[in-house]
Structure 1
């Protein structure tokens, strides 16, 4: 699942006076719904400038096939190249996220893409997403505080302030861990996309 932090404005459409168009939430999520487009966005944000279509296709193909770019077969490379050229890059260009020069074979991030903070929450099998973690932590903390207030044994052995401190520390440590891990989930923040790192 991917989450996008939107710049102000919900309107989508053509730019006014040469300015970059504001991206609607629907447009952003539609662009992120496809793995190849997420990989493309990650690669462009990580590079921070224009790249060749060939280099982009090789790296996206390598991520898809869990290999190195120079180990891709010609068919694998051609499949990704064609899909990017004919389908994905035109859509990203139309959305105002990239500037795709089909004739020159180059792709460049626009200001809209550069300013867009995109985080993906990758949940491995058997793991809980943060939303469920916080729900469980909140439920447990509230239950402990109520039990301590009601003098339930053995919680009564510690003062109420100790349980309040326990709750505060639990949420603080969780929040710090969440911030650190979320930064690692940002598209473009590392060499490989979060989906590949997992």
Structure 2
């Protein structure tokens, strides 16, 4: 399945979801929702019921709500390039700003 750009940008628009993806990419291993909650300092309820289901729907992670297991998909691994670009823009101050029309 091809990654939908709208879904990708919707996922990346949220800081907590970016932190979760960064953690999964950095560790390059499956994790558990409890560990992600602690490592990423995110609200556990939102993580379980909003963030992970949204990332799963976008095809970036495989999330099993019964067991709490979370793993990156191939598309999720590819999102590392987007995360690196965002980090570079944040570091250099080159983040785009809205312009008036």
Same fold (TM over 0.5): yes
Q: Give the conservation status (yes or no) of the 8 Å contact 2:4–2:58.
A: no
Match of 2:18 in 1: 38
How far apart are 1:130 and its partner, in Å? 7.8
The one of 97, 102, 121 equivalent to 2:60 is 97
Structure 1 runs (4+) greater than 2 angstroms displaced:
127-131
- Of the candidates 23, 29, 35, which is equivalent to residue 3 of structure 2? 23
List per-residue Cα deviations over 1:53-87 (Å, max 9, x = no partner). 111000111xx6xxxxxxxxxxxxxxx11110010
Aligned residues: 91
Counterpart residue number, 1:70: none
Quote the Cα distance in structure 2 between the aligned partners of 1:24 and 1:38.
17
Question: Gaps spanning 5+ residues in structure 1: where?
Answer: 1-20, 65-79, 132-198
Over 3 Å counting, the alpha-carbon distance change for 1:22 and 1:130 in structure 2 is same
> Using the alignment, how far apart are the partners of 2:34 and 2:3 within structure 1?
27
Deviation of the 1:104 alpha carbon: 0.9
Q: Find the aligned partners of 1:52 and 1:85 in 2 and give their Cα distance.
A: 11
TM-score by length of 1: 0.43
1:122 matched to which residue of 2? 90
After TM superposition, give the deviation of residue 115 of structure 1 in Å.
Answer: 2.1
Matched, 1:82 2:62: no
Rounded Cα–Cα distance in structure 2 between residues aligned with 1:56 and 1:89: 10
TM-score, L = length of structure 2: 0.81
Larger radius of gyration: 1
**What is the RMSD computed on CA atoms of the aligned residues?**
1.9
Q: What is the CA distance between 1:128 and its match in structure 2?
A: 4.8
